[in-house]
Structure 1
Amino acid sequence: MSIQYIDSPDQIENLCRQIANEPWIALDTEFLREKTYYPKFCLLQIAAPGWVACVDPLAITDLSALFEAIYQPNIVKVLHSCRQDLEIFYQITGKIPGPIFDTQIAAPLLGFQENPGYAMLVSSFLNVNLSKAHTRTDWSERPLSADQIQYAADDVIYLCQIYTAMCEQLAALGRLHWLESDFALLNNPELYQLSPENAWLKIRGKNKLTGKQLSIMQSLSEWRERTAQQENKPRNWLMQDDMLLELAKLQPVTLAELAKIRNINERTVNRYGKALCALVEEARQRPPKPMAGKENAVKKNQQHEAILDVLSAVVRIRAEENSLNPVILASRKDLEQLLFGDEDCLLLHGWRYNMAGRELQGLLQGDYSLSLKPEGVVISAA
């Protein structure tokens, strides 16, 4: 298949016409993020049956017409593991190009493991082993070689074939509509908004901090995120997570105290020391933001464990009936969330709710009962 390499504005109009004639298109991006906070958008690959194009966003400064064509709501956008790609689209346009079909999300309904890699799907569906020759390519370098362009184009060429096969198999199983609510969640802008105020939630080890320590860590995490955004640098270039935790524990309020902390970068002390000490001093004077669920956390007892065992049995039964790995349907953690009333539990949304969540919720609320009969476990209305 001939690859259209789009690197001038006068080529965009013809590409937009091609897109407008398609019910769906496959999309992928190449970007760099090793040295920046925000991804540097380097290449956009677009394909449909019969054609493929690679668009150079470094050569074309105005892609508004192209994005308008892509964002048309009557065209399904097919991606694999789409979160980072959609983040780029959101940062550029402030919108999500729905409707979305993510092959990584769909794959478990066809018996694959959770979050399968793209290479696995290409191998399984097409019996093709993807080349790794350009895995470490610097996509910002120009000109791109013919091999690099082919490598990038292959991602969407194969994605078209996988999507077609997936839709046929899911339709045959009556499962294609199961994914609608899962894909709809990808249109939530909050998934792609980088909030400094909530940066502390992603730091491991925060649960071991209390009182002033937690307040300091929250304040420093917000500072690091805002500074990384302003300077467009990776957050860990400014300060590693373990150093944030160390500062929260040691609580330095002078430059001398800060400089004595083991492994802290001298450049960090010189450039940001006064601001860091001021943040520590201020955070010590106020209570921390509460950790979600901590106040209402329930300590599991043997009765809880027994209930979880019963729920797990139902999950195994429903998973076997639908030829799924039980872990794909619900993990033990998912069942705990359901038991303790977590509204974000996966079993309360999408196809999982229809397959098992409704029944499990009914059992917990007493609307259903479970009995053992010669033919097996039977769930019936109470």
Structure 2
Amino acid sequence: MRPAVLIETQTDFNRLMSMLADASQIAVDTESNSFFAYYERVCLIQISTDEDDYLVDPLSLKDVTPFCQILRDESIEKIFHAASNDLIGLKRDFHCCIRNLFDTAVACKLLGVKKLGLAKVLDEHFGVTLNKKWQRCDWEKRPLKKEQIDYARLDTHYLIPLRHRLALELIKRDLWQDAQEAFVKICSQEVQEKVFQPNGFAHIKGAQALDNQSRRILKDLYRYREQEAKRRNRAPFRILSNETLVRLAMDHPGSVQELARVKGLPKSYQNSRAAYGLLELIRRTHDTCDDMKM
């Protein structure tokens, strides 16, 4: 296995895209920062050919239009594993549409495979072990670690030979047309704008066990967390976890000291402006509930 090629300049990127324009098929995957940021973005694009693996850093590029042209080119087959989220991210961030897709996860499902995760599939077919430690790391951080590069390139390195194995089996079982129809359907999906559901708090574990007053506090805390996540561009659970929201709603602390004793409360909410803002929200909701009882 040759070393992966890291593409970090527009010149190298344009050169790679010119080369890929003559390819008959490429394997593609992406990595994002969805586990860390509220406004998710594609942070890495992995591309493999029959010979090499490339890691494209879109954060360092001014223009990824040539890649979108590759994705649209019907003469080039694009091989993904569980393409849905990748395609949505590429469409959302770069307005890329795709034609001529082969999704190895969909192919596996049609063939009756039960465990569709890439790690399991690669282990079954090639005896390869993926280090899942890096699956949810912050892919926006630079520079990338060697371990991240090693992990990322394996996501696409085996997809082309995997595609060939699965295609033969699909044809053998007369499932090729079914697969093609499924691939086209995936390509046509649209980006859905993220919409906050204010009553989503009710689905948090432990919410149903709260009394009415605590549930009202939980609802307001849930809305507050969403607003803070947007403002700070952080994943909501990194502002306050669901477990912490429930504990705050249940204990409704009235002082900084009481707040600091809430298990799981981030340090940023201990004796700070954020702490007093949180206490004021809890107090205001608590008082409103008391007034409604009168």
Output the TM-score relative to the length of structure 2: 0.71
The secondary structure found in structure 2 opposite 1:54 is strand
What is aligned with 1:320?
Answer: none
What is aligned with 1:110?
Answer: 111
Query: What are the residue-to-residue correspondences of 1:220-231 with 2, within 5 Å?
Result: 220-231=221-232
Offset, 1:131: 5.9
User: How far apart are the structure 1 equivalents of 2:43 and 2:144?
Assistant: 12
Change (3 A) 1:30 1:181: closer
Q: Which is higher, the Rg of structure 1 or of structure 2?
A: 1
What is aligned with 1:290?
Answer: none
Query: What are the residue-to-residue correspondences of 1:118-137 with 2, within 5 Å?
Result: 118-125=118-125, 127-130=126-129, 132=131, 135=134
Unaligned 5+ segments in structure 2 are 290-294
Letter in 1 for 2:108: A
What is aligned with 2:259?
Answer: 259
User: How far apart are the structure 2 equivalents of 1:46 and 1:231?
Assistant: 32
Letter in 2 for 1:237: R
What is aligned with 2:191?
Answer: 189
What is aligned with 1:17?
Answer: 18
User: How far apart are the structure 2 equivalents of 1:63 and 1:273?
Assistant: 43
User: How far apart are the structure 2 equivalents of 1:45 and 1:78?
Assistant: 11
Offset, 1:68: 2.2
CA contact (8 A) 2:229 2:235 kept: yes
Query: What are the residue-to-residue correspondences of 1:1-382 with 2, within 5 Å?
Result: 4-22=5-23, 24-31=25-32, 36-37=37-38, 41-58=42-59, 60-72=60-72, 74=74, 76-82=77-83, 85-86=86-87, 88-93=89-94, 97=98, 100-114=101-115, 116-125=116-125, 127-130=126-129, 132=131, 135=134, 140-142=141-143, 149=149, 152-179=152-179, 180-181=181-182, 184=185, 187-190=189-192, 193-197=193-197, 200=201, 203-209=204-210, 211-251=212-252, 255=255, 259=259, 262-263=262-263, 264-265=265-266, 267-268=268-269, 270-277=272-279, 279-280=281-282, 281=284
Output the TM-score relative to the length of structure 1: 0.57
Unaligned 5+ segments in structure 1 are 287-382
Letter in 1 for 2:273: R
The secondary structure found in structure 2 opposite 1:224 is helix
Change (3 A) 1:95 1:138: closer
Determine which structure has greater relative contact order: mean sequence separation of CA pairs < 8 Å that are 6+ residues apart, divided by chain length. 2
CA contact (8 A) 1:259 1:266 kept: no
User: How far apart are the structure 2 equivalents of 1:278 and 1:185?
Assistant: 47
User: How far apart are the structure 1 equivalents of 2:220 and 2:167?
Assistant: 47
Identical positions, percent: 22
Change (3 A) 1:261 1:165: same
- CA RMSD after TM alignment: 4.1
The secondary structure found in structure 2 opposite 1:130 is coil
Offset, 1:241: 0.7
Change (3 A) 1:42 1:272: same
Offset, 1:159: 0.9
User: How far apart are the structure 2 equivalents of 1:205 and 1:87?
Assistant: 33
